[in-house]
Each structure stands twice: as structure tokens, then as C-alpha cells.
Amino acid sequence: MDKFVIGGGRKLYGSVRAQSAKNSVLPLLAASILTENTVVIRETPPITDVASMAEILRGLGAEVRFCGEDVVIDSAHAANHSIPSSLTRELRSSVFMLGSLLSRFHRAACAYPGGCDIGLRPIDLHLNALKRLGVKIRERDGFIACECETLRGNEIVLDFPSVGATENILLAAVKAEGTTVLYGAAKEPEIVDLQNFLNAMGARVQGAGTDVIGIEGVKCLRGVEYTPVKDRIEAGSFLIACAICGGEIEVSGVDGKSLGLLLHKLRENGCKIHTKNDKIKITSGGRLKCNRRIETMPYPGFPTDLQAQVTALNAGASGDSLIVENLFETRYKYVPELIKMGADIEVRGRNAFVRGVGKLHGATVSCGDLRGGAALILAALGAEGVSEVLDLSHVDRGYAGFERKLAALGADIRRVRI
């Protein structure tokens, strides 16, 4: 168990490059078993979610090797179609494996998925879509068993643009007989990345990034070497860190368009933002005005994965703010921890009413989930005095070397083993 000891109040200066996107790498790892040839995913961040996904692939019989920043997957001898419940519960993304296992073996079994404790997170949209492709599903005692004779392309309508369901449908339909048309798809950049990856393997997918995706089934897919898109959520977290602390940093690797609403909100706070190609520069005086209202929405709306971080920002700014969380029911579990740092926040259902107190103070706080944990770290960087941030395992799921990158920007942050 590790903790961060953070001395607040240092301004941030310098440049930082975003890691490859966690939410892209995980579905790409799931997609790697669609071929018996070797797949290389370049610049894979050493986060624990990637390690868990590698364990799942090994459990299926695939060879997974980490060579520097690359991960090499060879699933020629994969034969197992069942994911042990210990691994499924640890990582929600294991649900994508249903689509790729069905493509590869026409059978798949796993326990109900886990992941961050941020709400109900049902998988009905995934399962109903798989049924539309001809999959028979049995559910018993929290276990899901799927099988089909062949996968058959079909029209699928998603009632809500679920990121995971969209990705699962792509993975299941890519080698199905005939064509699948998905209406109401999620439009996240990571879905475009999955389309590009699959097409580089020989798939015929088009339309990702819009709400209609067409997938023409192909007989087989080949190996690929691929560099995933960079992590807009990690990049956004650094920008918010600089906004809170003051200073000037440049984040590279991420197109400003994929963070459009965050950049707009940071300007509202009083920061200066400059974008060019894949670089975003932020300048902050450190004394911020609250955003009047931020409401999370599916892409291109404001990302739920940055909700906690902007709430931390507003908690230490001046004025009043309303944050509305529309994606997950219980994504405010970090709020009591922010209150220990002097924040004035009242949560009522999906709404968090934030009265900015101007400056937070150091405290000992615990991370309860990945992005809530990141928010506490950012709050501590801007707070007066020393903070201890406990339960870092949640943060290590998604941020590689977070403290190293922040320290290189001038933050006073150390990891301590306890």
C-alpha cells in the first residue's frame, strides 16, 4: 500500500507528454485475440488495468510479453473461452472480451464485470446487442455464458451511446457473416481508435466518431503493430492541475478538439489556453473564478472522467458552481474527502452544489476510485500545507508515473510505502 505526501502551493512549469489512452489500450488488448497472428501495441502505459487485462489474456492461453513500452500478444494457442471471476470483477473492461471471444471461439463466459465503484453499471445494452447478432445468453448467479453457431450481422439500435457496448459490438461483428449497422453509437475518440486498429487488421468498419457505424464482416484478421491515441483524460488532469496551482505548462500528444469543453471551462475560470496541432498550453494565475455550471454528457459533451477533477478546481476557486453528473449515479464518493480539505460542497442526487472557498487546506484523505483519487491529488497540490493521499491502488489503475510527471513540472509530491 502506497501513499502520496504532497506539499501544496507550488506553481507548475514545463511540458509533459500524455500517455496512450487507457480507454483505448484496454479494448485494443481485447481485440488482440481476434487474430492468431502477433499483435504489437506500442507505447502502452504501465498501469495496473493493463496488467489485469494481460492476466486475462494469459488465462485464455495467449502469450503476452512486455518489451519496453510495447506489449506483444500472441494468441495462436489461445483455447480457453472463459474468464475467471477473480479477474472479471477486478476490471470492468473484461466485458469487451465477450465480443472478441465470441468472434474467435463462438463461446464466451465471464462473471459480471467490476471496475470503479461509481454506480450500477449494468451491461444490458451489451447483452441485448450480442443477442441481435445471434448469440444465446444464459445468466446465473452473477455468471454469464454466451454461445452461437455463427455470428450474423444485423441492425442494432443502442438506446444510450454506451462506450463499452459500442466497442463490444464492433468486436463481435467484425468477423460476423454479413453486415452490421449500429445506430446510436458512442462517438468517443477511443472508438475511432478501435476502428482504425481493426481496419489495420483487415476489418471493414466505417463511421466511428459518428452515431452510425457500419461493420462488414470479414473471414479473418491479420496481425498488426499499432500506436494508440493519447489519453485526453490524463492530459485534462494535468491541465486542471496547472489551473489549480498556477504556472504555465504545455501538454503534448492530445488534439485540443478532443478536450474542447474542458478548455472552454478553463477559460471561464480565468486561464489562458493556446492550442496548436497536438499541443495545449495553459497559463494560470492560480486565483480562479468558479464555473457557473458543468454537466457531464457522452462525447463530445463534458467527460464524466474529468468531473471529479473540475469539482476539486471549483472547490478552491471563488464563487458558486453547480456540477451535474449524468453518466454514473454514485460518482461523488470523493466529496467527503474534499470536505476534509475545507471544501464546501453539498451533493443532492446527480447535483453537487459547490461554494468556492478560495483555497483548500492540507489533510489526510483516501482515494475511493480512479478519477476521484486524481481529484484529491490535484486538490492537495493547490492546497495550503501538507496532505497525505492514501489508497493509491485506484489511481495506479489509470495514471502511469503520475507523481513522477507532476514532480517534473515542479510539484512537491512523493510516493511513500506504508
Which single residue brings its beta carbon nearest to ligand UD1?
164
Nearest alpha carbon to residue 269 among 231, 228, 309, 233: 309
Q: Which residues bind ligand UD1 (CB under 6 A)?
A: 23, 26, 92-93, 119-126, 160, 162-165, 186, 304-305, 327-328
Active-site option among 116, 148, 242, 367: 116
Minimum distance, C-beta of residue 81 to ligand UD1, in the bound complex (Å): 21
**Alpha-helix runs per DSSP H in 20-161:** 22-31, 48-59, 85-90, 96-105, 124-132
Cβ 175 to ligand UD1, closest distance in Å? Answer: 22
The whole-angstrom separation of Cα 187 and Cα 203 is 19
User: Strand, helix or coil at 397?
Assistant: coil
Toward ligand UD1, which CB reaches closer, 328 or 402?
Answer: 328
Nearer to ligand UD1, 123 or 273 (CB): 123
| Closest CB to ligand UD1 among residues 190, 250 | 190
Burial of 131: CB neighbours in 10 Å, binned 0-12, 13-18, 19+: middle
Cα distance between residue 135 and residue 148, in whole Å: 5
| Closer of 164 and 372 to ligand UD1 (Cβ) | 164
Q: Is the peptide bond before 300 cis (omega within 30 degrees of 0)?
A: yes
**Cα radius of gyration (the chain):** 21
**Residue with Cβ nearer ligand UD1 (22 or 175):** 22
Please tell me whether residue 62 adopts helix, strand or coil conformation: coil
Task: Write down the least CB distance from residue 144 to ligand UD1, Å.
Answer: 12
Q: Between residues 50 and 413, which has the closer beta carbon with respect to ligand UD1?
A: 50
Q: In whole angstroms, how close is the CB of 201 to ligand UD1 at the nearest point? A: 20
Q: Is 298 helix (H, G, I), strand (E, B) or coil?
A: coil
Whole-number minimum distance, CB 341 to ligand UD1, in Å?
Answer: 24
HSE toward the beta carbon, residue 31, CA cutoff 13 A = 38
Rounded to whole angstroms, the Cα distance separating 413 from 410 reads 9
Q: How many CB atoms lie within 10 A of CB 127?
A: 18
Q: Please, what is the Cα angle at 93 between 89 and 94, to 5 degrees? A: 60
Which residues share a beta bridge with 39? 73, 224
Could you confirm whether 110 is annotated as catalytic? Answer: no
Closest distance of CB 38 from ligand UD1, Å: 24
List, by residue number, the catalytic residues: 116
